[in-house]
Amino acid sequence: MIGYVTIGTNNLEKAKAYYDALLAELGGKRTFNNERMQGYGGGGGGMLAVCTPHDGKPATVGNGTMFSLAAADRATVDKVYAKAMSLGSKDEGAPGERGPGFYGAYFRDPDGNKLCVFKSG
């Protein structure tokens, strides 16, 4: 069970604006925060946080690392992907079937972190 996930950023204010708009499409809102981190929750118990690295070094993107955001339905996948594109995300795969019962879309945030929004089942 995942309690929380952190995504590194080199510009916390820009990341907050991006995730405020993006996660609102999924019912997410700001929760925990401090001087280097902003957490978001959606009422499901887990948290996604954007943060500047604790060690003070630049945030980097992990090769093969991806975070997935669950959507209520396919229309929400499409809506979140469109929002991500409007916020300047880099396309990594438009919404579509990725296998039996899995509909997803892929994009990168302004710091290059890869995300997927999906509906399964």
Assign residue 36 the CATH number of its domain. Answer: 3.10.180.10
Which domain range does residue 88 map to?
4-53+65-120
Task: Tell the residue number behind the tokens 């438009």, with chain if given.
Answer: 94
Is 74 contained in some domain? Answer: yes
- Specify if 17 maps to a domain: yes
The least confident of 39-48, 49-58, 85-94 is 39-48
Share above pLDDT 70 across residues of the chain, in percent, rounded to a whole number: 99
Is 59 domain-assigned?
no
As given in the structure block, the two tokens for residue 9 are 């950023």
Q: What is the mean pLDDT of residues 69-88?
A: 97
Distance CA 28, CA 48 (A): 9
- Is 60 part of any domain? no
pLDDT at 66: 92
Classify residue 10: in a domain, yes or no.
yes
Does the pLDDT at position 3 exceed 90?
A: no
Sign of the torsion formed by the C-alpha atoms of 94, 95, 96 and 100: positive
Q: What's the total number of domains in the chain?
A: 1
Q: What is the pLDDT of residue 13?
A: 97
What is the Cα 105 distance to its own chain's centre? 12
Residue 91 lies in a domain: yes
pLDDT tens digit sequence for 47-65 = 999 999 999 999 998 888 8
